[in-house]
Structure 1
Amino acid sequence: MEQTVARLERVAERLEQLAAAQSQVSDASRPCSGQAQVSANPGLSANSSVHQTEIINRVASTCDVSRSWRDLVSQYLNPVLEISRGLGDEVDRASKLFGEAFKAVDGVLQASSNTQRPDSSGLQRLLQPVATHMGSLGSMAEGRRTPGFNHIKALSESVLALSFLAYTGPSCGLAPPPQHVLDSWQSAEFYATKVMTEFRSKDVAHVNWVKGLKELMIQLETFVRLNNPQGLTWSPAGGVTKESPLTPAINAATAPPASVRSGGPPPPPPGPPPPPLSLDKIQETSTKSSTAAGGGSGQLAALFKDISKGEGVTSGLKKVTEDMKTKNRPDRTSVVKMPEAAPPSTGITSGNVVRGGGGRGAGGVPTGPAKLELVDRKWTVEYQVGNRSAVIEVTDPKQSLYVYGCKDSLIQVRGKVNNIALDSCHKTGVIFTDVIASCEVINCKGVQLQTTGIVPTISVEKTDGCQVYISEKLTKDENFQVVTAKCSEMNVVVMTEGQHDVQELPIPEQFISSFQGGKLITVAASHSGA
């Protein structure tokens, strides 16, 4: 029974709209009085029946879009507003502004379907009611953080989706309306997720509020995609908007004075531009200005006088002789002398600790106070010079070793260690047994590594000259690997138990890349002797 009554109401409403259209056609066929807000089409009297059909179709289309918008408001917006009443005064006030902005869109849709496309100022007046509510909601979101802050931010970001009404083309600075609505919801979803996270286990009303808001934005995107994919729909056969039917108060506030509206004389036109000044006039003006300013010497006038000389203006310049040129002056040579190298720092050996100066020594090796200590789980060996007897006793497999800035030194590690790293060392050797993670070498020159146990990975980067000694047992481990990058003069030496011969295997430095079957294949370069 309710569905039947609803259908009858829609039929009655449609008949009323058609009757209004008939009235509009009859009014448009009369001469224009000059007081109407929308001017009639001049060609309507010639083809009355054709224009009558166009107006009826336009009114029917407007009714369909307007009815779809009101259905969206009643089915998806009103439930959100109803839930907002129980979420606090702040959220309720923000939701009311949100709802008023949505409801004001209905008038914009009706007005656009019955008028021609206005200019930018006319469009701004038409959208003013929607923009006012959007601005008020944005002002609420910029205040201090309150218990309903995330709710208000979600609403203020969502209401920006109504800016699709201002889309006029690709050059307007907005994304196409459907995408703009999706972008606005993505911004609002950040705060909506915070609301869900905060109240998921506390109050189901907040969760339902977020779900309702999301469903509203989804339906809004669908509405825009179906009805306004390129912005507002204007009627080429419609009238020209003289003033916004939605904002009479704004138009009244910005109207001209009564004397102008009543037909008073217009203001006089502006006078002609002044004639261009001649050189003599400029000199005369500059002389008066300099005298009035207290200069008295007419410096600007003298400048113009010198400029008017033509080629003689350069007669007073000094000539550059040969002895003035930089290339002929030994005291002004362009060659920059290198500063004298500082003498290398000398260290005093005291057991396993060497104390030396700071800076960088010969060969670019950093120098500083020597150190060999255990801090937490990290052994630090720094700036050791000529120390061939440094021993590290590892008591915990979680300990690691970091060697930095050492030269002509030998470090022996006893026990299983987690990681070994050598950085900026020169002619330094490290002997160790087992490493759990990896052994890394970077920015070194002429270093040697020897392992008598197991190490998964040896990584060498930016190093010139590196010898890696491994046992024969390690060559049978398929997980063992050597990783190199920007290295040269690197060899892997395999030591055989019970034999004095060793096997030295070079690491390739040169590679050849070629296309094979459309794929780039890189292989190590090999050279065969004659």
Structure 2
Amino acid sequence: MAASLNAFDDLMACQLQPFIQFSGQIGGLVQEQARLTMESFKEQRKFIEMASQMAKPANDVQLMQLLKPISQLITQIQEIKERNRKHEHFNHLSAIAEGIAAIGWVTVVPTPAPYVKEMCDSAQFYTNKVLVAFKDNPVMIHHIDWAKAWIGFLTELQKYIRQHHTTGLVWSSSSSQAAAPLPPPPPPPIGLDLGGKSAADQAMDDARAALFASINKGDDITKGLRKVTADQMTHKNPSLRLSSTVSDNEMKNLPISQQQQSKLATQLRPEKLCLEGRKWMVENFKNRHDLLVDDTYIQQSVNIYQCEDCILTVKGKVNSITLDKCKKFGIVFDSIVSFVELINCRQIKAQAMESVPTITIDFTDGVELYLGQQSLNAEIISSKSSSINVSVLAPNGDYVEHPIPEQLKSTWNGKGFHTEAISKN
């Protein structure tokens, strides 16, 4: 692993340092972003060294905790770009913000180098604009050098990864030291309590209780059984054996309903909570009220698929959140750049702690949204959905519920039909 660290040191000295110097010549926000970029890769150097001395963390949550110092620096870099969209050097700021995501290669397996290539291409879209803007200005030649230095560093980072971490970050295989267990995440707000057991669940519990009660009878368990006569015993009546057997061919031809197939396929799907590129994937969880997505930044999205009876907390500002085929699911999120989307879901409770521009609800029944003061400007767009209620935080601290109309009235106006919602009274 010493060779890997030495190569990383060379990469920073020979490729990243010139970029920092050209950024200093430009100055201002570009220089500040470059400084944070250098700090980010210094932290990554520490992380690579740590990985050489310990076993890989047992789960993604622990891994993200170890990466928190890097994540916080990336967030600062992204925020500089987002807060300065009208800046004269916005293309510079965008190129750094796009390219810095390449630092996440340590979480990508089994092919981290192509991931870095993707981030490099995103950055090059903006560096090309810089090259075009300053190509005919000899006085501003350092802008040209700056753009080439940034893409050059990202390109060399790919080569470094291919040589030293071909299938992913190399962790120690001999060390027994593992990441310390993390404390449990804080519980979500009380408003997202998913409620008690359903009637079906209660019936199952009653049946299970009856079963255990009968087992606890001991020898008395056989007293209520009906006696089987000799003519009903298959070992004494061969004709019964012939009529009750099913051949192998018949077994193969027994139909499996589509519902059974779907249920079996669902049971076989593994649980997943991981970061794939810029997407957090949360899939196939059941009965988990402690799910947590942390250390996020604004270019990431969160995709939640086929989870049931769960609560998820999303920390930080992300681009978007999508729930698909979820049931009895609660989610608490901080801030959203673009949208939150609910598709093919049932019994969803969602709470926005900060801003969210748009919430779309399609083919979903039973939605409870909780909006705070910062999220009151949200646009709620629903189609083919029912039982949608939006609770708004009142000045006294209580939530006041407002139902979304489900009925529409269309009238002819001479040119076409005018459609309006019929509010519930």
Confirm or deny a common fold (TM above 0.5).
no
Bigger relative contact order, structure 1 or 2 (CA pairs below 8 A, ≥6 apart): 2
Query: Of the two, which has the highest radius of gyration?
Result: 1
Q: For this structure pair, what is the TM-score category when the shorter chain's length is used for normalisation?
A: 0.3 to 0.5
State TM-score, norm by structure 1. 0.34
What's the TM-score, normalizing by structure 2? 0.42
